[in-house]
Amino acid sequence: MTRRKFIRRLIGAGSTIVVGASWLITKASPRRFLRAVRLKKYPGPLRPLGDISKPSKWSG
Amino acid sequence: MKVQCELCPKECLIEPGQSGECRVRINLDGVLRTVVYGYPCSINIDPVEKKPLYHFLPGSSILSIATVGCNLHCKNCQNWEISQANPEDGNVAAYFCPPEKLISLAKTNRCSSLAYTYTDPVIYYEYTYDTSKLAKENRVRNVLVTAGYINEQPWKQLLQYIDAANIDLKGITEDFYRDVCSATLKPVQQALVLAKACGVHVEVTNLVIPTLNDDPEDIRQLVRWVKVNMGGETPLHFSGFFPRYKMRNLPPTSLKTLETAREIAISEGMDYVYVGNLQSKEGSNTYCPGCKSLLIERSGYTILKNRLGSGYCPNCGKEIYGVWR
User: Considering only CB atoms, which chain A residues are within 8 Å of B4?
Assistant: 30-33
Q: Check whether A28 has a pLDDT greater than 80.
A: no
Taking CA–CA distances from B145, the nearest residue in chain A reads A60
Report the alpha-carbon distance of residue A25 to residue A7 in Å, rounded.
27
Percent of chain A scoring above 70 in pLDDT: 100
Percent of chain B scoring above 70 in pLDDT: 100
Report the alpha-carbon distance of residue B65 to residue B140 in Å, rounded.
14
Strand, helix or coil for residue A9: helix
**pLDDT tens digit sequence for B214-229:** 999 999 999 999 999 9
The reported pLDDT for the residue numbered A7 is 94
C-beta atoms of A46 and B96 within 8 A: yes
C-beta atoms of B33 and A54 within 8 A: no
* Phi/psi of residue B319, nearest 5 degrees: -75, 135
Q: Check whether B62 has a pLDDT greater than 90.
A: yes
User: Considering only CB atoms, which chain A residues are within 8 Å of B25?
Assistant: 36
Report the alpha-carbon distance of residue B71 to residue B85 in Å, rounded.
12
Overall average pLDDT of the A27-54 stretch: 93
Q: Check whether B301 has a pLDDT greater than 90.
A: yes
Half-sphere exposure of A18 (CA within 13 A, CB side): 6
Instruction: Please count the other Cβ atoms lying within 10 Å of the Cβ belonging to residue B256.
Output: 8
**pLDDT tens digit sequence for B175-211:** 999 999 999 999 999 999 999 999 999 999 999 999 9
Overall average pLDDT of the B7-18 stretch: 97
Which of B21, B36, B111, B155 has the most A C-beta neighbours within 10 Å, making it the best mutation to test the interface with A?
A: B36
Contact call for residues B229 and B190 (beta carbons, < 8 A): no
The reported pLDDT for the residue numbered B242 is 97
End-to-end alpha carbon distance in chain A? 79
Length of chain B: 325
- B7 falls in which pLDDT band (50, 70, 90)? very high
Cis amide bond preceding B52, omega within 30:
yes
pTM (2 d.p.):
0.93
Overall average pLDDT of the A22-28 stretch: 80
C-alpha distances (whole Å) from B262 to each of B223, B254, B305 are 10, 13, 22
C-beta atoms of B39 and A52 within 8 A: no
Interhelix angle B152-159/B125-137, rounded to 10 degrees, is 20
C-beta atoms of A36 and B33 within 8 A: yes
Taken in order B273, B118, B49, B194, the sign of the CA dihedral is positive
The reported pLDDT for the residue numbered A51 is 95
Report the alpha-carbon distance of residue B204 to residue B223 in Å, rounded.
10
The reported pLDDT for the residue numbered B35 is 97
Q: Check whether A27 has a pLDDT greater than 90.
A: no
Q: Which of B302, B243, B241 is nearest to B276 (CA)?
A: B241
Which residues of chain A have a Cβ shorter than 8 Å from any chain B Cβ? 27, 30-39, 42-49, 52-56, 58-60
Overall average pLDDT of the B80-90 stretch: 95
CB-based contact (8 Å) between B156 and chain A?
Answer: no
The reported pLDDT for the residue numbered B133 is 98
C-beta atoms of B33 and A49 within 8 A: no
Q: Which helix (H) or strand (E) holds A3?
A: helix A3-28
C-beta atoms of A55 and B46 within 8 A: yes
The reported pLDDT for the residue numbered B261 is 98
- B309 falls in which pLDDT band (50, 70, 90)? confident
Q: Check whether B287 has a pLDDT greater than 90.
A: yes
Report the alpha-carbon distance of residue B69 to residue B123 in Å, rounded.
7
- A23 falls in which pLDDT band (50, 70, 90)? confident
CA angle B17, B27, A46 (to 5 degrees): 80
**Helices marked H in B168-231:** 174-181, 185-197, 216-230
**ipTM of the predicted structure?**
0.93
Which of B37, B77, B97 has the most A C-beta neighbours within 10 Å, making it the best mutation to test the interface with A?
A: B37
* Phi/psi of residue B137, nearest 5 degrees: -65, -25
Contact call for residues B20 and B33 (beta carbons, < 8 A): no
C-beta atoms of A52 and B45 within 8 A: yes
Relative to beta strand B273-276, strand B236-240 is: parallel
**pLDDT tens digit sequence for B117-143:** 999 999 999 999 999 999 999 999 999
The reported pLDDT for the residue numbered B211 is 97
Beta-bridged to residue B297, according to DSSP, are: B305
- B313 falls in which pLDDT band (50, 70, 90)? very high
User: Considering only CB atoms, which chain B residues are within 8 Å of A25?
Assistant: none
The reported pLDDT for the residue numbered A29 is 86
Report the alpha-carbon distance of residue A44 to residue B92 in Å, rounded.
8
Average pLDDT, chain B: 97
Overall average pLDDT of the B143-147 stretch: 98
User: Considering only CB atoms, which chain A residues are within 8 Å of B92?
Assistant: 44
Contact call for residues B74 and B181 (beta carbons, < 8 A): yes
Which amino acid does the sequence have at B269? G
Which amino acid does the sequence have at B26? I
Which amino acid does the sequence have at B3? V
**pLDDT tens digit sequence for B103-116:** 999 999 999 999 99
